[in-house]
Each structure stands twice: as structure tokens, then as C-alpha cells.
Amino acid sequence: MSRSIGMRQRDGFSLIEVLVGITILSVVMLGLGGAAALGLTQMAKARQDLQYSADVQQVGDSLVAKGWNKVTSGSQTIRGRTVSWTVTTLNPKSQKVVLIAQRRGQANTSVIYQDTVTLYLADPKVQ
């Protein structure tokens, strides 16, 4: 088959097509990289929250395990977090334990937050 002089065969891609393809691929990869970085940051924050909750739960469980009329006010430091508690006798058969846990803010780590958890302990021999 003979070709006319005005027609040429086109093999491959032009430089413009390659540049457009690379640009689109770059934008997509940057978006995926940003999403991955954000996901890792959120996972780290969730892990900190989970550790914090587990630490407070551990202190609360240890106080409940001691039982009614055997808990006194005090404090404990777990993984650098201070958890303190005060015990108040409500009546001869029950006590109120207020736990105050401190944690650093996630967006601004220089801010210290205090969370309060209230537990009630009662004499198991209810008459």
C-alpha cells in the first residue's frame, strides 16, 4: 500500500499527551499521599484516645475491686497521665468516688484537659 505525501503514520503518543498524562497522574498521587498522611495522623490520635480510656478504666476498675469502705483518696500516674480521685461518704452504706484524669489536647498539645468520672460504691449487704 502506498502512502500519499500529505498523510503520515502515527505511532505512539505525542509529547503533549504524555505531559497531560503525567500531570493527571501526579495530581492523583498527591491526593492519595495527602489522604494517607491524614489517615495515619487520625489513627495515631485514635490510639492515644484508646490508651487514655484504657488507663482511666484500669484505675477505676482497681478502685472498684478494692470494694466499699476500703478506698481512700489518692492519685496514680500511668504513662505520664495523672489520675487522682477523691472519696466522699454519702451515707453509712455508700461512697462516691470522683476520678479526675488529665490529658493533653490533640490539636494543641500545650493545653491540659481534665475529665471527670464518677463511681459509686455501696455496701454489698443491703438490708
Report pLDDT digits (tens) over 60-92: 999 999 988 899 999 998 888 889 999 999 888
Residue 3 belongs to some domain of the structure = no
109: containing domain: 15-122
Sheet hosting strand 94-104, strand order edge to edge: 74-78, 81-91, 94-104, 112-122
Which residues have CB under 8 Å from 16's CB, separation 6+? none
Average pLDDT value over all residues in the chain: 88
Query: Is 8 a domain residue?
Result: no
For residue 68, is it within any domain?
A: yes
Total of domains in the chain: 1
- 37 located within any domain: yes
The stretch 79-108 carries a mean pLDDT of 89
